[in-house]
Amino acid sequence: MLIGREPEGGFKNGLPQKPLNGLSKQILKSFTKMPSSISDKKKHIPLSVPVMGENEWKYVKECLDTGWVSSVGSYVDLFEKTVADYLGTKYAIATINGTSALHVSLIACGVQPDDEVIVPSLTFIAPANAVRYCGANPVFIDCTQDTLCLDTERVAEFITNKCIQGSDGYSYNKRTKKRVKAVIPVHVFGHPTNMDDLAAICGEHSIDIIEDATESLGSEYKGQKAGSIGKVGCLSFNGNKIITTGGGGMVVTNDENIAANIRHLITQAKCDTFEYDHDEIGFNYRLTNIQAAIGVAQMESLEKYIHIKRENAGLYERLLSTNDCIEFLKEKKWAMNNYWFYTIKVSKNHKCPLIEHLLSNNIQVRPVWKLIHTLPMYRNFQNFTIENAVEAYDSCINLPCSVSLQEHEILSITNCINDYFANV
């Protein structure tokens, strides 16, 4: 399959429900177009496609041959151990996808209905939805201009000025009177959030940090792997991620009780495997052995993939460096970015025409997500000083980023961008 996932928001069956930001319907159709012939294939450059090697086939075959195809099996155990060892966490629990990983992490951290959870407005929608699955309420906070990740200064301002500390040590939102129980920093497009600053403010106010590291497997903050820093970290192995199991996720943590609780929750809260005794309402959120087998093979290539992604990011930047109309998101000194997605910024008036130009040249690019606090089901939740995310929404474009992307394809893409600016 050539397209990792259908673009989120406003699309149905691969087509936009409404024209997006003035992009013409015809052009938008080409956004999801599949190459129909070999010659077409040559020209089409997809946004993100998975790469499968020999061991993926070999390990899956082993599952099929032995009948270990379902939600227990040696590949599930091995996948969990491999990821835990790689991230340096004591525990890893494989889940059916990244969204379910976020959902059970929130429950295991004690998020209750009516609690509040701080979420960035600029992110894929899953963390906000996971908060709502718990009956809790998101509070949307801005991103920084340079990393696109949660602005920790804004988080501190919100906690300090808009909340009051209760006698139980928790922070309560002065306006809603609700307890602020957790925060979900998303390491957007692979760049880590400023975790020390976040930990400082959260530590003082008993706010649990649930890292959404779904886009940042292998990225580092001050030498520590993304996902391994907060109370729990959540990963995704969706088809468009740096490694994939088709669909899949994982929770990582150093907390034994949380790990046990999550394993229990994702197994329908089963206490007894003979009589099927259950002690609470659980979920069927386990990853299958077949998916885990793909994951084990993909993990063997992760370091190579990160290397390729970082090289390609450098190449994009070099080839566009003479173009004054383009800005890059720079890696912070304290960060190592896996460059899951490559992002350029252009001025607001160029975003849609440039996207249209690239799509019409068979290069699949996309705008960043619509800001969550502007979506109908989230409009009535509190948002706190969102300015940088609006600017990012107006200016950011994601470029093709597959591990299989070739140098000549990057050259075609950058030539196409430079041509656009040469003719406006």
Ligand X SMILES: Cc1ncc(COP(=O)(O)O)c(C=O)c1O
Contact positions vs ligand X (CB under 6 A): 97-99, 123-124, 126-127, 186, 212, 214-215, 236, 238, 249
Q: How far is residue 397's CA from residue 148's CA, in Å, rounded to a whole number?
A: 13
Please, which residue, 179 or 366, has the CB nearer to ligand X? 366
Q: Shortest distance, CB of residue 365 to ligand X, whole angstroms? A: 17
Return the number of the residue (186 or 326) whose C-beta is nearest ligand X: 186
Report in angstroms how near the CB of residue 213 gets to ligand X at its nearest: 9
Q: Minimal distance in Å, beta carbon 194 to ligand X? A: 17
CB of 380 to ligand X, least distance (A): 22
Tokens of 366: 């996309």
CA–CA separation, 271 and 276 (whole Å): 7
Q: Is 31 or 124 the residue whose CB approaches ligand X more closely?
A: 124
Quote the least distance from Cβ 187 to ligand X, whole Å. 8
Count of CB atoms situated within 10 Å of the CB of 14? 14
Nearer to ligand X, 45 or 226 (CB): 226
C-beta of 186 vs 232, nearer to ligand X: 186
Closest CA to 227 of 256, 195, 200: 195
Strand 208-212 and strand 232-236: pairing? parallel
- Six-digit token pair at 138? 């998101």
What is the number of the residue whose Cβ is closest to ligand X?
98
**Token pair for 207:** 């706010």
The one-letter code for the residue type at 12 is: K
Please state the closest distance from residue 302 (CB atom) to ligand X, in A: 17
Q: Distance between CA atoms of 4 and 129, rounded to whole angstroms?
A: 21
What are the distances in angstroms from CA 85 to CA 82, 183, 211, 305?
5, 25, 18, 18
Token readout for 131 is: 């908060």
Comparison of 97 and 398: residue with beta carbon closer to ligand X:
97
